[in-house]
Amino acid sequence: MKKFDDIDLKYMKLALGLAANGRGRVSPNPMVGCVIVKNKKIIGSGYHGIFGGPHAEINALKSCKNAAGATMYVNLEPCCHYNKKTSPCVPEIIKSGIKNIVIAMKDPNREVNGRGIKQLKFKGVRCKVGVLKKEAEQLNEVYVKYITKKMPFVILKMAYSLDGKTSSVTGDSKWISSEESRRRVHDLRSEVDAVLVGINTVIRDNPLLTSHGRGKNPARIILDADLKIPLSSNVLNKEAKTVIATSKDSPINKIGKLEKKGIKVLKIPSSKGKINLKKLLASLANMGVSSLLAEGGPTVAESFINNEFVDKIMFFICPKIINGFSKMGDAIAVKNVIINKSGSDVIFEGYPDV
């Protein structure tokens, strides 16, 4: 296995850290950070800060006076293709006189995919590829999925009580998780392109599905095969874009009313009252949704899992026992919780606060 020296690792870590500044802002582009080093000193750095804005390499080159002879660290292969918002980075890097370039991972985009590296090498720029590759791939896991599969990267978020319930027997789910966790979910919403829930969640909880002021709002996707959504639902407000996925037989009349409110209604093939998720995900990808946070209840979770559409899970386990109680307020808190690992498991020990 190829080894990389500590200096490579150090500057690539910095580049990855810079890249992460673009989280929630550059989608569906990848997050990219760039550090330029000459005579053991950082002479320039930059990151891709906003979709449509200049790439990390360009920002970094602009930030230093003279990059000739320097080494560039960047977490993704520089681009060389033209059919996009900005001109390609490779020619600019060559022009700058950069002598060495250290790259974490090739760009899986078929338009690049090694061609950027080839062009750099051809012009005499020495390339080292693969430094912190795994970390780079994880940072851009959404981009990698989206650009290679033309499907959104799906994060399934669930909140469970310690005894594995998502709500009380009457459907009361406010709140299982702690305030901190709910804020974490709001942050997460600001980082994804879209959130998705089933119609039952809309009817029962009437959520906003926004980031509650913690960043940009994602588009809201509602699974609603029978178009049961009440016109007064919070998700139909103007705070964020909303898309309703419904069956092809849904009444034109109601569709019209929704469209008048500015809601996009997607007619998706459905069977037995269930939207064909694969077709929906493909449509969403076409609309530019590269990341989707599925936040529904157990039914939505089950369909996503059954169909192997879940790329990542984010499960909140909350120290409450809901048991067969009807109200969330009756749930038993567990106090003095101690959490230990046991092989791959986690043990929660504590005392029911009765």
- Residues with active-site annotation: 57
Q: Which CB sits closer to a second copy, 5 or 180? A: 180
Closest approach of a second copy to the CB of residue 175, in Å: 11
Give whichever of 166 and 276 is closer to a second copy, judged by the CB atom: 166
Radius of gyration of the CA atoms of the chain, in A? 24
**DSSP-derived pairing of the beta strands 41-47 and 33-38:** antiparallel
User: Encoding tokens for residue 342?
Assistant: 């046991």
DSSP 75-89: SSPPP---SSSS--S
* Rounded (5°) CA angle 153-159-161: 155
DSSP assignment, residue 31? Answer: P
Of 252 and 354, the one with the shorter C-beta distance to a second copy is 354
Cα–Cα distance measured from residue 294 to residue 308, given in angstroms and rounded to the nearest whole number: 13
**CB nearer a second copy, residue 5 or residue 179:** 179
Minimum Å gap between C-beta 137 and a second copy is 12
The site for a second copy (CB under 8 A) is made up of: 158-166, 177-181, 184, 298, 301-302, 305-306, 308, 310-319, 321, 323-324, 332, 334, 337, 339, 341-352, 354
CB of 259 to a second copy, least distance (A): 36
CB of 305 to a second copy, least distance (A): 5
Query: Which of 158, 206, 211, 208 lies closest to 183, judged by CA?
Result: 211
Closest separation in Å from C-beta 244 to a second copy: 26
Angle (CA) 300-255-192 rounded to 5° is 40
Burial of 339 (0-12, 13-18, 19+ CB in 10 A): exposed
- When the beta carbons of 89 and 155 are compared against a second copy, the nearer one is 155
Amino acid at position 44, single letter: G
Non-local CB neighbours of 351 within 8 Å, separated by 6+ positions:
334, 335, 336
How far apart CA 257 and CA 253 sit, in angstroms, is 7
